Structure 1
């Protein structure tokens, strides 16, 4: 018998026929019935999705679970420093040197995350398509893993490959490989030096046209796109009003810029208007002089909550109070709207009403990096002051070719009809899986058309249980918890892709239904998609869900459906 190794094994060679491998990366559409066009109805207000609440005893159990873990962890730390000083050398003073970490600041990682660390960062190989290939591993000791040399093929509900463009073969891969022959593997220079090629200029022009702006600038890293744009547009006399659930990259960028920041409640337009009015009335701290400018920063699609911003109201407030609007479309561009052009496309809003549109290319387009787009005047200024434009590497040619080809497929310039099918498949898949989970009794957050589906678990012990059980069943999912979410709302974050088939989603619903009964996850009260028909229980059977979901998921407002 082969002895398990603590080093990652070599990825096995897959000698299955090419058509089988292609189907594993992007499943074939089995019926035109499984398509849907996602667009918000014109002249209708945006209705927030209902966030269901579990019974009170679930909250109490969750707090008690964390309390017990914290108490036990502190007891072990106290005695460990006395009886096992070598293991705690990084937390105590050694030979006059200060400790590397404070015991409290590393407590969560050591005593809580470390217990379920095998559920995070599972190593994979191959393309992150319809199925994903994972190396099997077994935890030994506190932080080491043994790899027996086997792998598992899992249905992929964990990647941001929303439109399925992250393929190892296909029109985009062909373009990427050709760019390597023509341009090499790297620009080997910042954009402001010798790193700007004709591919960069063509790509920026294509992005600007795609998002409906005058100009765009490419950035080689998604996180850094937000992290360094705010120093180019804000200063200490600028006020940034930020949604409380904005991504960490936005908060980091605001801090680096030195701008003042006020936080408004998530997607609460009344609170946003109140914050704007108070800021205008009070002015800058101490001097009370007017702000040089006020920037409203929101996201199109919030990746942890799965909901959309109320863009129509945000634009109305922005115009009413003469503010600037910064819109982060990292998760919405390509994945939302009838033409895949983000939340402006979804709500039918002119993109030029948004002063700065930001997006990443790592998700729907199967590439890396991000972009900033806006008027030519703003982009001209940002090109001079943007740090990564002068000090960071330019986007490699193969990535540029991937961006250009995938965007042209969506537009219909390459393989007409393919991009439209991908957009309509992800819209159907998102609604189908969301409504099915709600009707089975799970608490699910997010907008109807969002490809991000958070399924609430609450209790910490259920996070590793669900992750490990689904992995054994052949489904790869991501669990997220504190600090990415509030400590009492740990969740599974399902990322839907157009590469998935309706049959894949049926299999997913069956397995979630089985686990939900076994682990007691069906907390829903029926307010958000369960039945409200008198005499009928709020939770549907899996047979009823599969029988009615195709037709019902195409109806408006899934949260209010019987």
Structure 2
């Protein structure tokens, strides 16, 4: 059970597993909301780029402005297009203008801070020239390095080196055959204790992990309750399973609790038989 106060900025969560005696004290989770001025200016910027994008497309159709983006040859016109019309429009007129805000080459480990290779564009981000300079100490907001394993110094790097010397770089087998280690079981016990549940199961990260293992867990006659912001791999796995899928609001325990209660009370549609299984799909980290 999660308790949410009315305050949108600060949330207090409390674990209802009193029998386990875990997390008896509520923990405070806070985050900063987007300022209204920043949100308004962002939407205005996208709106202005969209308006000028249609104007530039009009100029390109009349051969007044040159388009640098690759286009299909005349003999390929009858083929199925690779992108939808708006995707092409967005790429030509919005993405190419602002892509340098994200697609920045780095020249350091992807830690909490990174070093960027400085570059300039003479043609509004269609091509780039490197200046030879480095921008140091930029805060990293877009890396998969959640736990700090990409660092080359510090606790994670030292621990990784120690474990590698003891266990090797990999098990070269599935856990069902010869790839199960005491560390795997220790981690699962720790995750189960942290979540306050009976047991947990750990998988290696990857698209196929979710899309292929979910069909092995559920099937026809089962119900999947999925967070609305789940990754595409979870969505695909749920669809491949053949189970009934219902989506609850992101990070909203009241929405999940209501759907779960209705599913238990009413059962399957038409027959009202109990669901064979009910699987709840959520991610631990959302980007």
Shorter chain as denominator, the TM-score bin is 0.5 to 0.7
Structure having greater relative contact order (Cα 8 Å, sep ≥ 6): 1
Equivalent-residue separation in structure 1 for 2:39 and 2:109 (angstroms): 39
Equivalent-residue separation in structure 1 for 2:93 and 2:113 (angstroms): 33
Indicate conservation of the 8 Å contact 2:119/2:130, yes or no: yes
Q: How far does residue 176 in structure 1 lie from its aligned partner after superposition?
A: 6.1
Match of 2:3 in 1: none
Taking a change above 3 Å as real, the CA distance of residues 111 and 203 of structure 1, as seen in their structure-2 partners, is farther
Indicate conservation of the 8 Å contact 2:223/2:275, yes or no: yes
Equivalent-residue separation in structure 2 for 1:241 and 1:129 (angstroms): 34
Match of 2:137 in 1: 154
Equivalent-residue separation in structure 2 for 1:236 and 1:82 (angstroms): 55
Could you say what secondary structure the match of 2:131 adopts? coil
Q: How far does residue 262 in structure 1 lie from its aligned partner after superposition?
A: 1.5
Match of 1:175 in 2: 162
Q: Does 1:132 align with 2:114?
A: yes
Match of 1:71 in 2: 51
Taking a change above 3 Å as real, the CA distance of residues 215 and 67 of structure 1, as seen in their structure-2 partners, is closer
Match of 1:89 in 2: 71
Match of 1:536 in 2: none
Match of 1:260 in 2: 244
Equivalent-residue separation in structure 1 for 2:109 and 2:34 (angstroms): 37
Indicate conservation of the 8 Å contact 2:120/2:130, yes or no: yes
Q: How far does residue 127 in structure 1 lie from its aligned partner after superposition?
A: 2.9
Match of 1:202 in 2: 182
Q: Does 1:279 align with 2:263?
A: yes
Match of 1:237 in 2: 221
Please, what is the CA RMSD of the aligned residues? Answer: 4.0
Q: From 144, 147, 151, give the equivalent of 2:127.
A: 144
Gaps of 5+ in 2: 1-12, 16-22, 193-197
Q: Aligned residue pairs: how many?
A: 256
Equivalent-residue separation in structure 2 for 1:292 and 1:225 (angstroms): 23
Summarize deviations over 1:199-245 as a string: whole Å, max 9, x none.
Answer: x42332332243247674542x3444333331121223222122223
Taking a change above 3 Å as real, the CA distance of residues 62 and 151 of structure 1, as seen in their structure-2 partners, is closer
Taking a change above 3 Å as real, the CA distance of residues 207 and 49 of structure 1, as seen in their structure-2 partners, is closer
Match of 1:211 in 2: 191
Could you say what secondary structure the match of 1:295 adopts? strand
Indicate conservation of the 8 Å contact 1:237/1:260, yes or no: yes
Q: How far does residue 52 in structure 1 lie from its aligned partner after superposition?
A: 4.8
With normalisation by structure 2, the TM-score equals 0.67
Q: Does 1:292 align with 2:276?
A: yes
Indicate conservation of the 8 Å contact 1:118/1:139, yes or no: no
With normalisation by structure 1, the TM-score equals 0.38
Summarize deviations over 1:458-512 as a string: whole Å, max 9, x none.
Answer: xxxxxxxxxxxxxxxxxxxxxxxxxxxxxxxxxxxxxxxxxxxxxxxxxxxxxxx
Aligned pairs for 1:2-41 (under 5 A) are: none
Equivalent-residue separation in structure 2 for 1:233 and 1:45 (angstroms): 33
Q: How far does residue 105 in structure 1 lie from its aligned partner after superposition?
A: 3.0
Equivalent-residue separation in structure 2 for 1:48 and 1:176 (angstroms): 32
Query: Which deviates more from structure 2 when the two are superposed, residues 61-70 or residues 237-246?
Result: 61-70
Equivalent-residue separation in structure 1 for 2:104 and 2:281 (angstroms): 33
Could you say what secondary structure the match of 2:210 adopts? helix
Q: How far does residue 162 in structure 1 lie from its aligned partner after superposition?
A: 5.0
Gaps of 5+ in 1: 1-38, 305-562
Taking a change above 3 Å as real, the CA distance of residues 244 and 51 of structure 1, as seen in their structure-2 partners, is farther
Aligned pairs for 1:354-365 (under 5 A) are: none
Equivalent-residue separation in structure 2 for 1:285 and 1:92 (angstroms): 52
Equivalent-residue separation in structure 2 for 1:236 and 1:91 (angstroms): 46
Query: Which deviates more from structure 2 when the two are superposed, residues 140-149 or residues 116-125?
Result: 140-149
Taking a change above 3 Å as real, the CA distance of residues 130 and 69 of structure 1, as seen in their structure-2 partners, is closer
